[in-house]
Amino acid sequence: MTKEQKDNLFVLVKSLSKSEKRQFKLYVGRLGVNEDSKFLTLFNILEKLPTYDEAAILKKGIVKKQQLSNLKAHLYKQILISLRLNPSHQDIRIQIREQLDFATILYHKGLYKQSLKILEKAKAQAIAHEEKNVAYEIVELEKIIESQYITRSLSSRADELSIQAKELSMQNVVASKLSNLSLQLYGLFLKTGYVKNDKETERIEKYFKARIPKYDINELGFREKLWLYKAYLWYSFLTHDFLACYKYASKWVNLFYENKEMIVLNPVFFLKGNHYLLEALFYIRHYQKFKSSLKRLEDITKTTWFPTDDNLEGLAFLYIYNNKFNLHFIEGSFEEGLPLVDEVLGKLKKLHDRIDEHHIMVFYYKIACMYFGAGDNKKCIFYLEKIISNKSLQMREDLLCFSRILNLVAHYEAGLDYHLDVLIKSTYKFLIKMEDLYEVQKEFIRFLRRLGDIYPHEVRNEFIKLHKKLKEFENDPYQSRAFLYLDIISWLESKIQNRPIGLVIRNKFHDSLMDKQ
């Protein structure tokens, strides 16, 4: 798979909407530069190029090769300035920063009262919107002005500013410690994955307790609570405590629903919180809550007040459509879910610059699972091959592992057994190279090794034996997660009962609903 050359400037130009391109050209016009200005000419060339081609740019003769780098840097800067001036990018953070800049300019001009007036309004805005880092900066500038110049604004001003600075500083320290812990736990998750035994659980527990700062929940603001819930969420994910994941993801999401203005100010955190909530609900198979939470998220992203930009469009697509697939997997409604495939492929084509390759492969795996559940094994194999043959990407080992296992099962189901022995050997070789395999995977590997030597009339008995073995791990907190990637138990039951896997999963789903009534 060849990789298209990526150039930061070219990607930025291609990301611009029609209105942003128009604004940029108007901005250049306001600068009063010549219409034939080199950086504007470069912009026009890049706008028309289908892919980045340095030779094509140089052929236009606007600049020599050794000057191109400087010209590109200048154009990049001008585009960013233009975007900053665009009303669609004028969020509250930029507005507060702008007011701080204005106040600083007035301070340097000696207009102290005017500067303090702007700072007071900016500080109130910053505190109201939980922007406490910039609020602390504002207080520090107020202290400088008050300490250096006699403004006679208030006799108690010095004490008031000192107390305010101390409170903001303490809140920022707590938020920083919690955000650091959240990031460190996420880093551990990427490095080592979920804990696999009691010893690893104990290690993570000690790590967490040693780093969680002391806090009083009643004294925490929105921002501090958000980082607190994130830290507990990652701790719960690492330790397989999916009920706790649900608890803290719910607290995270409800924090936003209770502070609607924060959804507008922090839409990325709102989307991510909902994604983790849905992931936790999927793991604990809480169907009704999953379905209602997904609908609520999708409805909110369609409202007129929900922010829109390229990043949010990509994230909303990722989180909503991944979980739409998961909803069908819970229900066992594979055939009903097939229309999602064309919808997702169309959106991936539209958003290809905004969706990273790993997430595209995750979608391919879900599409493959959808076709497998619907009984279309050849299409399942087609999408799995896209993952298995992708040598240019370092993907999660679990995704690669289960892609290969499902590929083998799909070949078996499709009757493509003319080279099944070769496929079994290559799958086995791949799996034994992996570190820290689940016991579920190890048992399946042992089964695969014997599969070629089993006579057709003995296959059902072997399925029954493997099913009995794997059922032992179904409720094991360290092993059960393997079944979420690929429902091997339901597949084995479908072989033993001679029924389609979609029907087996659907019947289990209906039985679970009856049990909860």
Measured in residues, the chain has a length of: 517
Of 92-96, 119-123, 434-438, minimum mean pLDDT range: 434-438
Averaged over 262-289, what is the pLDDT?
A: 93
Task: Examine the pLDDT at 496 and tell me if it is beyond 90.
Answer: no
Question: Exposure of 172 by Cβ count < 10 A (0-12 exposed, 13-18 middle, 19+ buried)?
Answer: middle
Q: Which of 99-103, 247-251, 312-316, 438-442 has the highest mean pLDDT?
A: 247-251
Q: Is the pLDDT of residue 151 over 60?
A: no
Query: Residue 238 in contact with residue 478, Cβ under 8 Å?
Result: no
- How far is residue 410's CA from residue 382's CA, in Å, rounded to a whole number? 10
- Say how far apart CA 448 and CA 407 lie, in whole Å: 13
CA angle in degrees (0–180, nearest 5) for 510-515-517: 100
To which residue do tokens 């190890």 refer?
Answer: 442
Q: What is the mean pLDDT of residues 2-6?
A: 51
pLDDT confidence of 3, banded at 50, 70, 90? very low
Percent helix / strand / coil, the chain, rounded to 5: 75, 0, 25
**Band (204; pLDDT cuts 50, 70, 90):** very high
Write down the H helix ranges in 129-241. Answer: 132-148, 157-192, 198-211, 222-238
Closest by alpha carbon to 385, among 360, 363, 358, 403? 403
Least confident of 195-199, 348-352, 476-480: 476-480
Q: Which two tokens stand for residue 5?
A: 């050359």
Sign of the Cα torsion 213, 256, 266, 274 reads positive
Percent of the chain, pLDDT > 90? 30
Q: How many angstroms separate the Cα of 249 from the Cα of each of 103, 280, 293, 300, 318?
A: 40, 8, 12, 17, 18
Burial annotation 19-39 (CB, 10 A radius, 16+ → b, else e): ebbebbeebbeeeeeeeebeb
| pLDDT at position 275 over 90 | yes
Does 34 score more than 80 pLDDT?
no
Q: What is the mean pLDDT of residues 94-114?
A: 88
Q: What is the pLDDT of residue 379?
A: 94
269 Cβ neighbours under 8 A, 6+ residues apart: 226, 256
Give the sign of the dihedral formed by CA 99, CA 103, CA 106, CA 111: positive
pLDDT-based confidence at residue 50 (cuts at 50, 70, 90): confident
Nearest CA to 71 among 107, 112, 43, 95?
43
* Burial of 323 (C-beta count, 10 Å sphere; 0-12/13-18/19+): buried
The Cα 157–Cα 145 span in angstroms is 11
Alpha helices for 49-156 (secondary structure H): 54-59, 65-85, 92-108, 112-128, 132-148
Q: What is the mean pLDDT of the chain?
A: 85
Give 363's pLDDT tier (boundaries 50, 70, 90).
very high
Query: In this structure, what token pair is assigned to residue 59?
Result: 């052929």
Count of alpha carbons within 13 Å of 477, Cβ hemisphere only? 14
Q: Euclidean distance between the first and final Cα of the chain, in Å?
A: 51
Q: Is the pLDDT of residue 396 over 80?
A: no
For 277-281, 322-326, 361-365, 393-397, which range has the lowest pLDDT when averaged over its residues? 393-397
Per-residue confidence band for 2, with pLDDT thresholds at 50, 70 and 90: very low
Pull the structure tokens for residue 506.
Answer: 């659907």
Show the tokens assigned to 286: 């809480």
How far apart, in whole angstroms, are the C-alpha atoms of residue 144 and residue 147? 5
Taking the C-alpha atoms of residue 458 and residue 190, their distance in angstroms, rounded to an integer, is 42
C-alpha separations of 490 from 101, 354, 371 in Å: 62, 36, 15
Helix (H) or strand (E) holding 336: helix 334-337
One-letter amino acid for residue 299 of the chain: D
Of 24, 10, 11, 13, nearest in space to 81 by CA: 24
Q: What's the confidence (pLDDT) of residue 123?
A: 93
Task: Say which residue, 435 or 261, is predicted with more confidence.
Answer: 261
Cβ pair 41, 62 in contact under 8 A: yes
Helices marked H in 376-500 — which ranges?
Answer: 377-388, 397-414, 420-433, 439-451, 459-471, 482-485, 488-497
Instruction: Determine the Cα–Cα distance for residues 33 and 85; give it in Å rounded to an integer.
Output: 18
Q: In the block, which residue shows the tokens 């936790």?
A: 280
- Mean pLDDT, residues 395-404: 76
Phi and psi at residue 223, to the nearest 5°: -65, -45
* 469 confidence band (pLDDT: 50, 70, 90): confident
Name the residue among 340, 233, 333, 229 with its Cα closest to residue 283: 233
